[in-house]
A and B are shown apart, each in its own frame.
Chain A
Amino acid sequence: MKATVYVTIKQNVLDPQGSAVQGALHSMGFDEVGKVRIGKYLELELDTTDRAEAESRLKAMCEKLLANTVIEDYRFELEG
């Protein structure tokens, strides 16, 4: 089963990378761009076919290691 995990900086936390990219886009003339947020995208291959089990294990992985919940939010999708 394949899992994709998205980790993003919380909305109320400053994202300097996103701000820098927003500034670059504006200077290139892409003035329609509002806020930009940059996050992480992770692909994980899981050796299981049990969806419920995979979800609970993924949640644990995110909360323990993949995201720092003080500053980051996470979500994941499962395929297969």
Chain B
Amino acid sequence: MKFAVIVFPGSNCDIDCYKAVEDTIGQPVDYVWHTATDLSEYDAILVPGGFSYGDYLRCGAIARFAPVMNEVVKAAEQGKFVLGICNGFQILTEAGLLPGALLRNNSMKFRCHSALLEVVNNNTAFTNQYSQGEIIDIPIAHGEGNYFCDDATLAQLKANNQIVFRYKAGANPNGSLEDIAGICNERGNVVGMMPHPERAIDQLLGSEDGKRMFTSILNAWREQHGAAVNG
């Protein structure tokens, strides 16, 4: 299984994502520059955190029009696995791959600390190794992670089980609607989240609860791959 880590000017969690793939599941992984026009060789696309294009205008607004994003959309449509973390989540909402938008934290503060999350949906390619309702410890680091969407979209997210992670009750760090920390698309192959699982892959970092996001995806890919071979 082959991973791409997209690198925009201003990405700063690309190395962490790359290392997380190497260290947790040992699969081949490449950095892919934002000008790339072909992602066909990759099975999973990671859109890392950072400050793409300096976050000018709005977080993710300019990155969304980088050439590589056409390919990310194509990959998502093909059912490949796409994970956007932090700025990557902002980019995926701007690109319309995920609904809603991220607003400035209601505290006006950049929040950078570990956060407890509840796994709400363990049926996605990225969360199948967690149990539903499990509380995990994954750090956050963002100034604009306050998830917002309109009532109709929220109803749809709930009806389709698209809320993947919530901040633990009473511990919402940014004012997110209904404590939402991460969501997926209807098909479940595109996930966006503000917390950073790639920074929680070893106890030395304070938590290894992020590891299972990477083992989940390898597991999901193997299941798909096996099914295709047997099928």
Chain A interface (Cβ < 8 Å from any Cβ of B): 9, 13-14, 16-17, 20, 40, 65-66, 68, 70-71
Contact = CB atoms under 8 A, between A and B. Distances in A.
B155 interface: no
A78 B93 CA distance: 30
Interface stretch (B21-29, B96-104, B179-187, B208-216): B96-104
A44 B17 CA distance: 38
State the 5 A-B residue pairs at the shortest beta-carbon distance, nearest first.
Answer: A70-B101, A71-B101, A16-B108, A16-B104, A16-B106
B100 to A, nearest CB: 6
14 contacts: A14-B103, A14-B146, A14-B175, A16-B103, A16-B106, A16-B175, A65-B57, A65-B62, A65-B65, A66-B57, A68-B58, A68-B94, A70-B100, A70-B149
A37 to B, nearest CB: 13
A9 B104 CA distance: 11
Contact of B148 (A40, A65, A71): A71
A68 B104 contact: no
Contacts of B58: 68
Nearest to B65: A65
Contacts of B150: 70
B123 interface: no
B82 to A, nearest CB: 20
B61 interface: yes
A71 to B, nearest CB: 5
Interface string B100-122: 11011111100000000000000
Interface in B55-83: 57-58, 61-62, 65
Given A66-B57, A68-B61, A13 B148 contact: yes
A13 B103 contact: yes
Nearest to A40: B57
A13 B187 CA distance: 28
Interface in B142-162: 146, 148-150
B101 A65 contact: no
A68 to B, nearest CB: 5
Contacts of A20: 108
A76 B105 CA distance: 28
B61 to A, nearest CB: 6
